[in-house]
Amino acid sequence: MKILHTSDWHLGHQFFKYEREEEFQHALNQIVEIVRTQQPDAFLLSGDVYDTPVPSTAAQHCFTQSLLAIHQACPSMAIVAIAGNHDGKSFLNVARDLWTLAGVHVVGLLNVLSPSQEELQTCIDDVDFLEHKFDLASQIVPVANKGIIVAVPHLYDAAYPFLSDPNATAEQRRRQYFTALMEYVARHNPQHLPVVLMAHLAVSSSDLSWHDFGVVGNLVTTDLSDFGTQFDYLALGHIHKSQNMTFQGRLARYSGSIIPISFSEDLPHTVSIVNITAGATTTEDVEEIPINPLYALLTLPATPLPFDQALQSLSSLSRDQKCYLRLNVRVDYENPLPPDALLQVHQALKDASARFCEIKIDAPNLGTQVGDRVISDPSQLRGLTPSQVAKYASAEPLSQDDLDMFAEVERRLNMNAEKANM
């Protein structure tokens, strides 16, 4: 089975308040042509279709028209899209039945059934519980005697269902859910067709070091062992850097985002063509096809310099070069940032096609120690907890009462975030 694997479109995303419809359309037009050339058996979109739970009309129009164009480029191809953590799961589910008319299977939520207590008491194992509790047919997409797609939308750990063990922890429920789901598929796959599992989450063995998540608290990760081994390819979304991982001979992969979402994503953006063979899919079966950006990411100068010298580096920029630009400035006591710095930058870029985003401050001699990190650039505050930011901003040590207050704020923020995405 030949698949095209993509994820993390983030339609509707604004980059430093710049609208990006033209960029998204430029990238999606390339994907349409890749589909037309490659003619895959299945097209997998592994979450984060949109950047926000309630996307703009322009973002919805872009998604609808692009998905129809993708379908028309290869009408026999199955298309499966799952919700990511950025998506409104109920929002995606609304048009699910209508999308099937175009060969598109959208899985925004687990479709819950309403079994009676008597029916549940007759269940003999976790697979039986799963079959009674959920409409599994809405998650499992057969691909014309070539393979099976198993679609699991993004779930926070607290949202994984209880099966036969009413005392299971959230982590145990996650493992039990995937184990039972894949066992169900194996029992209904007498031809031993290739099985592709779709999910949107962070795997602990993936490269997370470069990623700017911008979330409160620590990132929750899942071990590859939680998925078992009854799949041939794990089509992942959530991490924006394309990469392969393996577990007991099974291949898992992030296809990466199709355009950069932050300056940390100054890396190739691709979609993946994967030829799936039951029990024998390897990294050699993966082909990365680049998506050429309409606007590049550019940091000038390459190494931080005092403001006047950094400003001079803009003279090397072609006036018609389309890019997102940030100025890389080193600040110290002898070379402070002038009060009219932004005005000078905008004057230097007058009539240029570059989209100026920010002045990146490097102040190694003016840094503040926060835990084991030295904060010398305000952008480094992203990803810190509220209490860590307070320690950075406060001239005096925080009292225990302050620390307890921030701990409660963090707990409520995380709880509200989970509720909003369940």
Report pLDDT digits (tens) over 5-45. Answer: 999 999 999 999 999 999 999 999 999 999 999 999 999 99
Distances (CA, A) of 339 to 6, 19, 307, 313: 44, 28, 11, 19
| Amino acid 210: pLDDT | 65
Query: 347: Cβ–Cβ under 8 A, 6 or more apart, which residues?
Result: none
Whether the pLDDT of residue 209 is over 90: the answer is no
Amino acid 379: pLDDT? 56
Q: Is residue 367 scored above 80 in pLDDT?
A: no
| Domain extent listing, the chain | 2-290, 295-362, 367-422
Work out the mean pLDDT of the chain and round it to a whole number: 89
| Percentage of the residues of the chain whose pLDDT score is greater than 90 | 69
Q: What is the pLDDT of residue 103?
A: 86
- What is the residue type of 385? T
166 pLDDT higher than 50: yes
The CATH class of 2-290 is alpha beta
Q: Over the Cα atoms of the chain, what is R_g?
A: 24
User: What pLDDT is recorded for position 394?
Assistant: 63
Mean pLDDT lowest among 3-17, 167-181, 224-238, 357-371 = 357-371
* pLDDT at residue 411 tops 90: no
Report yes or no: 42 and 143 within 8 Å, Cβ to Cβ: yes
Query: For position 250, what pLDDT does the model report?
Result: 94
Report pLDDT for 116: 86
CA angle 362, 368, 372 (to 5 degrees): 105
- Residue 398 CB partners (closer than 8 Å, separation 6+): 387, 390, 391, 406
Compute the distance between CA of residue 134 and CA of residue 113 in angstroms, rounded to an integer: 5
Instruction: Average the pLDDT over 155-182 and give the result.
Output: 92
**76 close to 32: Cβ distance less than 8 angstroms:** no
E strand map for 116-157: 140-143, 147-151
Residue type, 146: K
Q: Which helix (H) or strand (E) holds 324?
A: strand 323-330
Query: What value does the mean pLDDT take over residues 230-245?
Result: 96
* Mean pLDDT value of segment 138-153: 95
Question: By CB neighbour count within 10 A (0-12 exposed, 13-18 middle, 19+ buried), where does 347 fall?
Answer: exposed
DSSP 223-277: -GGGG-S--SEEEEES-SS-EEEEETTEEEEE---SS-SSGGG-S--EEEEEE--
Binning pLDDT at 50, 70 and 90, where does residue 143 land?
very high
Residue 371 has pLDDT above 60, yes or no: no
Give the mean model confidence (pLDDT) for residues 307-317.
Answer: 95
pLDDT value of position 217: 39
Strand order in the sheet with 250-254: 140-143, 147-151, 195-200, 233-237, 250-254, 243-247
Q: Which residue has the higher pLDDT, 103 or 139?
A: 139
| 385 has pLDDT over 50 | yes
pLDDT for 82-133, tens place per residue? 999 999 999 999 989 899 988 899 999 999 898 888 888 888 889 999 999 8
Confidence of residue 366 (pLDDT cuts 50, 70, 90): low
DSSP for 353-421, written as a single string: S-EEEEEEEE-GGG-EEETTEEE-SGGGGTT--HHHHHHHH-SSPPPHHHHHHHHHHHHHHHHHHHHHH
Determine what percent of the chain is predicted with pLDDT higher than 70: 88
Is the dihedral angle over the CA atoms 97, 9, 51, 216 positive or is it negative? positive
Q: Is 214's pLDDT higher than 70?
A: no
